[in-house]
């Protein structure tokens, strides 16, 4: 279906001037989007009111009166109760001038299409069925507002026969009043609306009626508070309109009611039998879904007022970092704590959990597979494990956002389940290579489909018997290693991985913490399938990858002295400490201890002049996520820094070699990308406090690039604007706040 771009509407004829029709008229007038508004209402008083309120320039009681004067480019908006639409169509039938577009606002589209067929014998090319997803429990002409549609969705359900020019005109009309327009097939629209709008109205009307008619509850409204008010607001909507919707969308609504009734029955049963697990399952899943929805609504409100869709960091030049800081929990361990805790027997308590979007995506995925997970509340999560074979098929695809770790580790785990599942992600994740996990899983007998070019989505077929393999990793990747080992838990016999260089070993350590035997011998790790995990307590230390931004900040900004508390310093993760020290950084580890099988320390970093180095290749996997920040340190060092053997950086959340080289160049640094690394000429030896020029750089939605350029501003001569920083929330949601507390001057807009 093509949408032809259009000039504004000529005349707008609104048939039925209530909240919906009146608000379109007011909005379009405010946007100078039409030449004239003609109102049509059955009652003369409504006509007079519409004119008096400035909604219509003139008004009539029968649409047929104005049809002869209409011409091509004019629009008739039918905004009457659903079951009256047919009668209005019948009035239009004989006298509608050519080129006039007819559209409507009914909440059910199947009945509008049926009405059109009845009147015209087909769906005419000038008809564009539509449904504005906006409104309020108020109705009538006096409720109309010119801003009702701003940042609200309009669903158009054009038929095959709908003309492109007519569709384009209606699309443009709604955009002119600030709405977002999308198209959908009629049946899909009616099913979606049955579930999300019509069912809630049935329940709200039914509940209020039940309470209002229950004699024993005569005084009940007197005691009803916010919960009742919020839940039943929509029971005050227009009864005629809602009666029509129920009758017009009967089948889809019945389906929704039946589903809801059976869930309500199950809840009733759980309450009757004291099944607290069932109640917690329903309530935690519902809370998570509602919280997610609240965030979606908040973002919408944000775009409404700020008219921006993304986050920009403005990092002001100069400053130093000082104080004691605790950065958020380790991302890799947070993911794994949810995965293993879910598959364990018993209740696992997690502390220090990273409440960032990536780890929350993993948490949500397991909730979607039926695991009861409480929290997170201040980093505490309680996971009611379901055992190795207790996961349930999720209701739809598992969406893991920006998180490569979720997708790749989950792929391994899911290959051993009895159900099919699809894994999807955001735009960045959808470009990342997945054959690196699909190939070994296929060798194990799993059935895994990827999208084009080995990219997401991943479709994993359940019910396959996995066979154990010995897998030499083609690249140093902890995600691939973990994926194979997790699949190995479900395979018959011994599954082993051999890595070309040490990579983070949190999976191996945490499996051992859950009582699963992992045999490790140098580069080889081996598990025997068929074992079980036993719930445990997990204390997630602060993430060294997040701490690195402050290690670099303190190292490059004279006058800095920070203490980073409780940071994980696992030897498979400490490359950034080793590299920065080799460059001359002043880093001391204090209070070294072991917490839950992971080494932890407080890291003190004081300013020290840095020098460029050739980065040893054996450090690359140990600092794989820290290079964007290390490149900033290299730019501030004296002399040249050379990185090789780091081609993996090209397939992270962005191509980090290119993205950093581009940004550094904008800031006046000589940075030359190579296929597997970069060469950076440091400007630290030039006697100037200012290493970076100011400017605008693009983080390409990569959280670590965004934070690295924010740190660079400590040695910049002018402000650095960093675009597309929303994904900082994936790993370090309170970065701006902590950076500010430490002394960096960062504003978020």
Nearer to ligand S3P, 381 or 636 (CB): 381
In the bound state with ligand S3P, the residue whose beta carbon lies nearer, of 76 and 622, is: 622
479 known member of a binding site: yes
Which of 405, 428 has the CB closer to ligand S3P?
405
Helix axes 404-414, 331-343, angle to 10 degrees: 20
Please, which residue, 40 or 429, has the CB nearer to ligand S3P? 429
From 625, 655, 662, 702, the catalytic residue: 625
| Alpha carbon 3 to its chain's center | 28
How far is CA 39 from each of CA 26, 75, 352, rounded to the nearest angstrom? 11, 12, 61
Backbone angles phi, psi at 653, to 5 degrees: -55, -25
CB of 229 to ligand S3P, least distance (A): 45
Check the annotation: does 708 bind a ligand.
no
Rounded to a whole number of angstroms, the minimum distance from the CB of residue 489 to ligand S3P is 16
Nearest to ligand S3P of 191, 543 (CB atom)? 543
Q: Which is nearer to ligand S3P, 79 or 402 (CB)?
A: 402
Is 652 assigned to a binding site?
yes
Query: Annotation-wise, does 618 bind a ligand?
Result: no
How far apart are CB 480 and ligand S3P at their closest, in Å? Answer: 6
Nearest-angstrom CA–CA distance, 254 and 565? 57
Sheet containing 638-643: which strands, arranged edge to edge? 638-643, 677-683, 671-674
Residue 35 labeled ligand binder: no
Alpha-carbon gap, residue 297 to 355, rounded angstroms? 20
Residue 533 C-beta: closest distance to ligand S3P, Å? 18
Q: Minimum CB separation from ligand S3P for residue 76, in Å? A: 56
H-helix or E-strand spanning residue 728: helix 728-731
By beta-carbon proximity to ligand S3P, the closer residue of 49 and 507 is 507
Smallest distance from ligand S3P to CB 645, Å: 13
Residue 625, marked binder: yes
How far apart are alpha carbons 323 and 231 in whole angstroms?
47
| Annotation says 625 is catalytic | yes
Residue 596 beta carbon to ligand S3P: minimum distance, rounded to whole angstroms: 17
By beta-carbon proximity to ligand S3P, the closer residue of 29 and 504 is: 504
Burial class (CB in 10 A: 0-12, 13-18, 19+), 326: middle
Q: Please provide residue 71's backbone torsions phi and psi, each rounded to the nearest 5 degrees.
A: -145, 175
Q: Which of 555, 552, 549, 558 is nearest to 690 (CA)?
A: 558
Q: Would you mind telling me the total number of residues written for the chain in this entry?
A: 749
Distance separating alpha carbons of residues 197 and 234, to the nearest angstrom: 10
Smallest distance, Å, CB 416 to ligand S3P?
A: 19
CB of 513 to ligand S3P, least distance (A): 16
- Give how far Cα 179 sits from Cα of 32, 55, 126, 170, Å: 15, 19, 21, 11
- The residue assigned the tokens 């049935």 is 202
CB of 55 or CB of 480, closer to ligand S3P: 480
Q: Which is nearer to ligand S3P, 48 or 648 (CB)?
A: 648
**Is 58 annotated as contributing to ligand binding?**
no
Minimal distance, residue 575 CB to ligand S3P, in Å = 12
Alpha-carbon distances of 403 from 182, 374, 472, 703, rounded to whole Å:
28, 21, 24, 11
- Give the DSSP per-residue string, 364-422: HHHHHTT-EEEEEETTEEEEE---TT-----SSPEE-TT-HHHHHHHHHHHTTSSS-EE
Does 64 carry a binding-site annotation?
A: no
Question: What CA–CA distance (Å, rounded) separates 407 from 345?
Answer: 23
Q: Which residues are near ligand S3P by CB under 6 A?
A: 332, 405, 477-479, 482, 504, 624-625, 648
Strands 180-183 and 153-156: parallel
Is 336 annotated as contributing to ligand binding?
A: yes
∠ at Cα 438 (434, 441), nearest 5°?
Answer: 150
Q: Is 593 annotated as a binding residue?
A: no
* Separation of alpha carbons 174 and 153, rounded Å: 9
Query: H or E element: which one contains 76?
Result: strand 75-78
Contacts of 398 (CB under 8 A, 6+ apart): 365, 368, 369, 410, 421, 422, 423, 424
Q: Which helix (H) or strand (E) holds 299?
A: helix 276-306
Q: Strands 470-472, 494-498: parallel, antiparallel or unpaired by DSSP?
A: parallel
Q: Is 287 annotated as a binding residue?
A: no
Binding-site residues for 3-phosphoshikimate, in ranges, read 331-332, 336, 477, 479, 625, 652
Q: What are the residue numbers of the active site?
A: 625
Binding-site residues, in ranges, read 331-332, 336, 404, 432, 477, 479, 625, 652, 656, 704
Binding-site residues for phosphoenolpyruvate, in ranges, read 331, 404, 432, 479, 656, 704
């Amino acid at each position: 279906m093509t949408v032809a771009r259009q000039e504004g509407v000529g005349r707008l004829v609104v048939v039925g001037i209530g909240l919906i029709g009146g608000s379109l008229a007011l909005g379009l007038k405010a946007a100078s989007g039409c030449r004239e508004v003609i109102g049509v209402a059955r009652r003369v008083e409504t006509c007079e009111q519409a004119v008096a309120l400035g909604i219509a320039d003139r008004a009539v009681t029968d649409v047929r009166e104005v049809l002869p004067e209409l011409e091509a480019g004019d629009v008739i908006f039918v905004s009457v109760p659903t079951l009256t639409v047919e009668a209005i169509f019948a009035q239009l039938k004989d006298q509608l001038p050519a080129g006039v577009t007819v559209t409507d606002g009914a909440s059910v589209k199947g009945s509008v299409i049926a009405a059109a067929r009845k009147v015209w014998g087909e769906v005419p090319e000038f008809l564009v069925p539509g449904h504005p997803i906006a409104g309020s429990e108020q109705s009538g002409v006096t409720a109309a507002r010119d801003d009702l549609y701003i940042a609200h969705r309009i669903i158009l359900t054009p038929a095959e026969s709908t003309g492109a020019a007519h569709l384009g005109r209606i699309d443009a009309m709604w955009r002119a009043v600030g709405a977002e327009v999308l198209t959908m097939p009629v049946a899909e629209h009616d099913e979606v609306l049955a579930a999300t709008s019509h069912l809630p109205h049935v329940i709200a009307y039914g509940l209020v009626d039940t309470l209002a008619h229950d004699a024993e509850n005569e005084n009940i409204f007197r005691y009803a508070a916010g919960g009742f008010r919020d839940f039943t607001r929509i029971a005050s909507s227009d009864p005629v309109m809602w009666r029509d919707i129920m009758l017009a969308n009967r089948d889809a609504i019945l389906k929704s009611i039946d589903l809801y009734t059976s869930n309500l029955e199950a809840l009733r049963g759980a309450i009757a039998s004291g099944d607290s697990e069932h109640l917690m399952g329903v309530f935690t899943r519902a809370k998570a879904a509602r919280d997610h929805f609240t965030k979606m609504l908040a973002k919408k409100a944000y775009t409404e007022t700020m008219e921006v869709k993304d986050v920009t960091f403005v990092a002001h030049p100069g400053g130093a970092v000082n104080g004691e800081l605790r950065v958020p929990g380790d991302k890799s361990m947070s993911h794994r704590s949810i995965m293993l805790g879910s598959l364990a027997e018993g209740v696992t308590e997690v502390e220090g959990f990273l409440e960032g979007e990536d780890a929350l995506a993993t948490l949500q995925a397991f909730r979607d597979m039926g695991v009861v997970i409480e929290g997170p509340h201040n980093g505490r999560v309680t996971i009611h494990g379901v055992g190795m074979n207790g996961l349930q098929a999720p209701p739809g695809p598992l969406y893991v956002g920006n998180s490569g770790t979720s997708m790749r580790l989950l792929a391994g785990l899911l290959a051993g389940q009895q159900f099919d599942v699809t894994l999807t992600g955001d735009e960045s994740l959808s470009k990342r290579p997945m054959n690196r996990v699909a190939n070994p899983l296929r060798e194990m007998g799993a059935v895994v489909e990827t999208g084009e070019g080995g990219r997401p989505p991943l479709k994993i077929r359940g019910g396959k018997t996995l066979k154990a393999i010995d897998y030499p990793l083609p690249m140093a990747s902890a995600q691939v290693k973990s994926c194979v080992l997790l699949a190995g838990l479900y395979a018959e016999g011994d599954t082993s991985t051999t890595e070309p260089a040490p990579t983070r070993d949190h999976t191996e350590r945490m499996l051992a913490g859950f009582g699963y035997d992992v045999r490790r011998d140098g580069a080889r790790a081996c598990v025997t399938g068929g074992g079980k995990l036993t719930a445990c307590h997990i204390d997630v230390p602060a993430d060294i990858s997040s701490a690195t931004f402050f290690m670099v900040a303190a190292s490059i900004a004279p006058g800095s002295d920070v203490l980073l508390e409780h940071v994980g310093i696992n030897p498979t993760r400490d490359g950034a400490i080793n590299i920065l020290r080799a460059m001359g950084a002043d880093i001391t580890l204090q209070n070294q201890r072991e917490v839950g099988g992971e080494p932890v320390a407080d890291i003190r970093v004081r300013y020290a002049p840095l020098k460029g180095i050739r980065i040893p290749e054996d450090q690359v996997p140990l600092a794989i996520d820290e290079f964007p920040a290390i490149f900033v340190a290299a730019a501030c060092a004296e002399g040249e820094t050379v990185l090789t053997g780091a081609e993996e950086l090209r397939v992270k959340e962005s191509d980090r070699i290119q993205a950093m080289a581009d940004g550094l160049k904008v800031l006046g640094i000589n940075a030359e990308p190579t296929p597997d690394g970069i060469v950076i000429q440091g400007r630290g030896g030039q006697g100037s406090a200012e290493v970076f020029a100011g400017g605008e750089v693009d983080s390409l939605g990569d959280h670590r690039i965004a934070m690295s350029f924010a740190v660079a501003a400590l040695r910049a001569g002018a402000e650095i604007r960093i675009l597309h920083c929303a994904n900082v929330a994936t790993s370090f949601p309170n970065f701006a706040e902590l950076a500010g507390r430490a002394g960096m001057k960062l504003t978020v807009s």
